[in-house]
Structure 1
Amino acid sequence: MKQRIVYSTMGKENSDPNASHKFSGGTDGSIPTNEPPSLSKPPVPSASNQEVDEMPLDDLFDVLRNSRRRRVLRYLFTKDDRTATVGELSEQVASIEQDVEVTLITSKQRKRVYIGLYQTHLPKLADLGLIEYNRGRGVVTLLSQADQVEPYLFVVQEKASWKWWISAVLVLSYSIVVGIIAINYSVVASIISVMITAGVFLGAMFYWRRSLRL
Structure 2
Amino acid sequence: MSQLSLSDSDRSSHEVDARGRLELDDAFEVLSNRRRRYVVHHLLQRAETVDLRSLSRQVAAWENGKSLEEVSAEERRRVYNALQQFHLPKLRDVGVVFYDSDRGTVRSTMITKELKTYLGMNNSSVSCRATVVAGGFLSGGAVILGLAGGGLPALGAVVLAGIVGIVTIQKEQPSSQLGSEGPPPEIVRSNAQTN
Matched, 1:144 2:144: no
Partner deviation per Cα, 1:83-112 (whole Å, 9 max, x = no partner): 211111101110011101010000000000
Retained in 2: the 8 A contact 1:130–1:145?
yes
Distance 1:136 1:93 in 2: 21
Using a 3 Å threshold, how does the CA distance of structure 1 residues 47 and 128 change in structure 2: closer, same or farther?
Answer: closer
Matched, 1:109 2:75: yes
Q: 2:37 aligns with which of 53, 70, 74?
A: 70
Q: What is residue 191 of structure 2 aligned with on the other side?
A: 209
Partner deviation per Cα, 1:104-133 (whole Å, 9 max, x = no partner): 000000000000000000000000011111
Using a 3 Å threshold, how does the CA distance of structure 1 residues 85 and 158 change in structure 2: closer, same or farther?
Answer: farther
> What is the letter of the counterpart of residue 148 of structure 1?
E
Superposed displacement of residue 64, structure 1: 2.1
Distance 2:46 2:28 in 1: 24
Mark the runs of 5 or more structure 2 residues left unpaired by the alignment. 1-7, 11-17, 131-187
Using a 3 Å threshold, how does the CA distance of structure 1 residues 126 and 207 change in structure 2: closer, same or farther?
Answer: closer
Q: Secondary structure at the match of 2:118?
A: helix
Q: What is residue 21 of structure 2 aligned with on the other side?
A: 54
Distance 1:207 1:154 in 2: 11
Matched, 1:79 2:46: yes
Distance 1:88 1:61 in 2: 26
> What is the letter of the counterpart of residue 71 of structure 1?
Y
The two structures have a TM-score, normalised by structure 1, of 0.49
Partner deviation per Cα, 1:166-199 (whole Å, 9 max, x = no partner): xxxxxxxxxxxxxxxxxxxxxxxxxxxxxxxxxx
Using a 3 Å threshold, how does the CA distance of structure 1 residues 148 and 207 change in structure 2: closer, same or farther?
Answer: closer
Distance 1:123 1:85 in 2: 15
Retained in 2: the 8 A contact 1:133–1:141?
yes
Q: How many residues align?
A: 120
Q: Percent identity?
A: 32
The two structures have a TM-score, normalised by structure 2, of 0.54
> What is the letter of the counterpart of residue 53 of structure 2?
G
Using a 3 Å threshold, how does the CA distance of structure 1 residues 47 and 115 change in structure 2: closer, same or farther?
Answer: closer
Distance 1:65 1:58 in 2: 10
Q: What is residue 119 of structure 2 aligned with on the other side?
A: 153
Distance 1:119 1:64 in 2: 16
Superposed displacement of residue 207, structure 1: 6.9
Q: What is residue 172 of structure 2 aligned with on the other side?
A: none
Q: Aligned ranges for residues 17-56 of structure 1 at < 5 Å?
A: 53-56=20-23
Mark the runs of 5 or more structure 1 residues left unpaired by the alignment. 1-45, 166-205
Q: 4+ runs of 1 displaced by more than 4 Å?
A: none
Q: What is residue 187 of structure 1 aligned with on the other side?
A: none
